[in-house]
Structure 1
């Protein structure tokens, strides 16, 4: 019968892969919501309605007083785009009646730009929410890919710290998926109760519109739960591995199977490994934040800049945690004579434990990161104001 540690390691791998599959499957499909209209033919002195014969056809609303045409048709979408099933004949009819040409799918990430977009206020609001959610899912994908790579390394080399980082990455993937899902549900709320839409629709058609959540959203929530379980499994595996696996270098040189250690040494190792975990997560955060910062600044994408600023803020938090844990370890070394190797009590009064220059440098870097996070908040607001002013000047 395999040992409990092997069973726990296998369980953590299976749960992590399963959670990743659920989330990646959910955010890769366009089955998050569908929008449909149940319109009947109606003609009056102010309104003329020609209902669609099927989901591949278009319902034409005409306000006789103003001569304005509205086009209502079935749509379905996901985190990245909103699509329809219209035939070429239906698109040609829309063009004949004066409507702008619409592609089969509208990609929010690549097509929406406030400087050149012709969407109305409600449409821009929907597009902003979609882009904010998509930014969260981009970070989630990066976290899951990183968790897969670090998780493989942790199991092959039996690195306890890498195992801890894997758990943190699963936790971050769950967190950003929750953020993305929360933004989606806010958008759905505005669509359902405030009749907001990417393209304009008449107020009289709001009661005939249905906005339905599809199967991918529950799948994403299940993925969040499974990834949270994977995080717990990794934490349990880490705790089990601390008693029998490598954790020195502080990654690979220390092995309790071949060394007899005291409780003080275990405490020392636990604090030091926690510090390393915080700094490893910081490194991953900064890599992703710098990538998104370059992308958001180059493309002038406000939601991406917001996520970059949030990641810089998260990096600040983990640097702060790492430094606090380090100084706590230093406190135990200085005042309680804790050490990696046991030393006699008579030596403790003559032992000197000094903090090296990297610690003040890390605190200075933390201050810079905090300032950078604040800078990104102002930059995001400035980009939003500039885009809004550009749109108002243009139209």
Structure 2
């Protein structure tokens, strides 16, 4: 606006002296009078401006990706198994037996007999004798044996696998463009002074980067002729696009794996064991005992009497008794198994990386430049001689 006011003041200063000139000074020798009139004439000029355009350039970039790879390895699994071992041994069992032994002894039974008549009679005497009777019998003996039973069952094994899932995501992209706006100014005189310069964008010819010129005051020369200033304004154009996005989602996988399980089963066994039983049997015996009866005659009668004496004799017997012993022996076994191992492998891939490059494109347009023209217009007046 300041430049417009300065140009208008200069134009009025140039026109006012012409309008204030007396018409007599403008008359010719014939006495014809002219009137000066100022008219604005627009001249067309070709002006070249530069428009900033953005272009997407794709660069080839080497990218290293870490990809999981599943491999199957053979491993050995060691476990300990308890196995019963049955051993049969014989041990000696000593026991003591009381055995009766009968002995006949001669005892002096001399006595005095008063006899007149000697009579000898025999009478029966009954007595009970206990005898040992050995009997062998069998008795059943029950015992429990733990036997191993191996079973194969199906066991679930759960693993987590990362699988790629592609989803479409809506992304808003601005596909607008720069629009030119033309502002017309009035003519202004040529002068050099401190002028305010707005912010502008320039292109570095070496690096191709866009540089922003900060606004501020600078010394510049003002062009005398008015000119049209083109101002570029960004016109936005928002467009929604569907962009695929790939993500790794964990997924659980269930596998049925056969597993051998060993359990102990209780089994009841029966065996017959010989047992010797000693029992006492009462036996009644009868013996003849001589009895001598004497009369009233006293005489010394020598007599030897045989007497049976029972003695208990201790005897030690030894017998062999079989003994069965069950021992548990631990045995180490090796079983081959397959194990899946996940390894991370690096892969080299070539990816196109987009990059935006700004460049100036020349644009030619026509500008109408105003110019002031002074014209002489004749004034009709009566002739001086008339």
Decide: shared fold, TM above 0.5: no
The structure in which a higher percent of residues are strand is: 2
The structure in which a higher percent of residues are helix is: 1
Give the number of the structure with larger relative contact order, counting CA–CA contacts within 8 Å between residues 6 or more apart.
2
Return the TM-score normalized by structure 1.
Answer: 0.18
Structure of higher CA gyration radius: 2
Return the TM-score normalized by structure 2.
Answer: 0.19
